Structure 1
Amino acid sequence: MKLDDQVAGPAYLQVASGIRKAIAGGELEPGEKLPAGPKLATTFGVALMTVRRAIETLQSEGLLRSAPGVGVFVATAENNGSELANLRADVDALRKRVEHLEQLVPDSSQQSQAE
């Protein structure tokens, strides 16, 4: 992996592009764990915060996933959706469940008026 100096803009975008190219070129395989942050910072010749920001960018794109306490991995076909898309799907599923439950339980305000 190397810094993509053809990308204009901040260093974190160059690092993100370098990792993206490593994934596209097969240097990093789906499911493979990325080297630790400090090692990536040394590899790219940038600060650790720059690497972290690049990783966050790639996570939001769905190319990387994080396992707290374990590391950062190249997303696989099963988990390549962005976290935002997954959260939206979860919220939609919960909304449908609540609507279903509301249909099953009588409205307490209407019940108290009837009494």
Structure 2
Amino acid sequence: MKLDDKLTGPAYLQVASGIRKAIASGELKPGEKLPAGPKLATTFGVALMTVRRAIDTLQSEGLLRSAPGVGVFVATAENNGSELASLRADVDALRQRVEHLEQLATDSSRQAQAE
């Protein structure tokens, strides 16, 4: 795992992106325990609080789950599917709304040019 230096913005988002890519590539597998926070901070070259904020972000996305006193794990299909499906449905609905609004804007523009 490494810091995603192609992203601009807060370091915690860069760390979250790096962990997200490690999950997507299979470097981190479902059910696998993440390294401890201090180790991740050293790996990414950031403060521990930055790592914690990145983990919180990925937990809210349903990619990670925490077991108090045990550690943070990559979510499995059983424990992230419903939230992920809900997010996908929301994104699809937003995409349809944007396409509809773009069509309305195009139609309005054509109508104005015709007049």
Whether these two folds match at TM > 0.5 is yes
Q: CA deviation at 1:50?
A: 0.1
1:22 aligns with 2:11: no
Task: In structure 2, list runs of 5 or more residues that go unmatched.
Answer: 87-115
Give the corresponding residue for 2:35: 35
TM-score by length of 2: 0.70
TM-score by length of 1: 0.70
1:7, 1:69 → 2: CA distance? 32
- The 5 Å alignment of 1:79-94 reads 79-80=79-80, 81-82=82-83
> Counterpart amino acid of 1:7?
L
Q: What is the percentage of aligned positions where both structures have the same residue?
A: 89
2:17, 2:27 → 1: CA distance? 13
RMSD over aligned CA atoms reads: 1.1
Q: CA deviation at 1:72?
A: 0.1
Q: CA deviation at 1:7?
A: 1.2
1:6, 1:29 → 2: CA distance? 24
> Counterpart amino acid of 2:2?
K
Give the corresponding residue for 1:45: 45
More helix by share: 2
Task: In structure 1, list runs of 5 or more residues that go unmatched.
Answer: 86-115
2:56, 2:2 → 1: CA distance? 18
Query: How many aligned residue pairs are there?
Result: 83
> Counterpart amino acid of 1:72?
V
